Chains A and B, each alone.
Chain A
Amino acid sequence: MHVLIINGSPRVKQFSNTDKILAGFTQGMCENGTTFEQYEVSDRKQWDDIRRAYYANSNILIALPLYVECIPGLLMEFLETLSPRNDGARIAYILQSGFAEGIQLRCGEAYLEKLTGYLGCEYAGTLVKGDNFSIRFFEGEQRERITGPYTEMGREYAAGAGFDTDKCRAFTGFEVMPAYLRLILGIVFRTVGRTMFRKIAQSWGCTKPLDYRPYQ
């Protein structure tokens, strides 16, 4: 099987969490001979090549971050340039977000199924997973802890059933966090979490409080 992978993140490849997820995913996907070609929507110079590959391939995987409950504006702009296939091509999706709970991604997931119909393709399911915001801040083992589990999902996808399997559905984790965890995390968010974000901001050269109001 050969797979066309479109990274739908508007963030440049170097800093793209979606790209790091795809690196883990494709490692598993290719173990048994599956091959792929990958393009980045963030690079407009690739758009002609992506369109050519889109019409030439029957197994398509679009990976994207959730932007305001749906697909990013830039990916939408690209998709608007495509014509419906109506030839049995299959599209599967990897939908990832910063928020951790599965429920946060369901509205976006619902659109992806509809989108596939508008593109005249067959829906091969969506791999849904949150809690990916910190990928860009980590290296080595810490990053691997987040992206590593996607390798198994790559193996699962290569088996041919897309993402419509029990394993892929379970990969999402909890739909809503249990109350005790929300209580603990709520405290962490107000204390350690804020300190951590302030430290990251300082390392980025930020000189203002993170709740600064420039337009007040």
Chain B
Amino acid sequence: MVLIVNTTSDTSITGRIKEAAGKDAGLDVVEAAGLKISHCIGCNFCWLKTPGECSIKDDYEIILRKIVHADQLWVISDTALGFLDHKGKNIYDRILPIATMYLKFSGDQMRHVRRYDQITDIGIIYRGEPDREYLERWNSRAALNFGSRSLGVFSADEVKEAVSCMC
């Protein structure tokens, strides 16, 4: 399943994705602009008090429940200061419950042990003018934290290219 989380108010982007991907693409689209999604508060409860569950009871739980079954997660985000804006970044920060507190080495670096067997690769579709080279580097690093790989970084004008990477 391909999960698409659109944090922007522009629903035409997901419309174009659906059109380009076709009916049988297995897309699950969450229009998150109207949802109540807080930032991560760093309480670590999802690791040490209520394992796998976020202490913030808001609409992010809808997304979290889907991520653990998704082959791919695409975050559609506005940009600010050369990077994802806070709404886009919050989607990443709040993924923490899919990792456990337990640690291991993966290659030569520490990682958290994954909570679920499912591996979810991650891609970005952005609006605005970020530092794209940096965003590509960052998304590759972010994916490492989830034991997955980056699907790439595309502007909202490159929906067809992004769809070609959707399984």
Contacts and interface: CB of A to CB of B under 8 A. Distances in A.
Interface stretch (B21-29, B94-102, B152-160): B94-102
B142 A69 contact: yes
A69 B141 contact: yes
B83 A111 contact: yes
A210 B141 contact: no
B41 interface: yes
A176 interface: yes
Contacts of A209: 51
B93 interface: yes
A25 B40 CA distance: 26
B43 A114 contact: no
A80 to B, nearest CB: 5
A182 B108 contact: yes
A143 interface: no
Nearest to B52: A214
A189 B102 contact: yes
Task: Name B's interface SS.
Answer: mixed
Contact of A67 (B40, B102, B109, B141): B40
A211 B89 contact: no
A70 interface: yes
Nearest to A97: B110
A107 B134 CA distance: 9
B113 to A, nearest CB: 7
Interface in A125-154: none
B19 interface: no
Contact of A210 (B48, B53, B145): B48
Interface string B80-107: 1111111101101101000011111100
Interface string B4-45: 000000000000000000000000000000000001111101
Contact of A80 (B42, B50, B80): B80
A7 B93 CA distance: 18
B68 interface: yes
A191 to B, nearest CB: 11
Contacts of B142: 68-69
Interface in B117-140: 131, 134, 137-138
Contacts of A166: none
Contact of A197 (B102, B108, B138): B102
B65 A215 contact: yes
Given A100-B110, A110-B134, A211 B51 contact: yes
A130 B116 CA distance: 26
Given A72-B89, A190-B104, 6 more contacts: A68-B142, A77-B86, A110-B134, A118-B81, A176-B108, A212-B52
Interface of B: 39-43, 45, 47-53, 64-65, 68, 80-87, 89-90, 92-93, 95, 100-105, 108-110, 113, 115-116, 131, 134, 137-138, 141-142, 145
Interface of A: 9-12, 15, 42, 65, 67-74, 76-77, 79-80, 99-101, 103-104, 107, 110-111, 114-115, 118-119, 176-177, 179, 182, 185-186, 189-190, 193-194, 197, 200-201, 204-206, 208-216
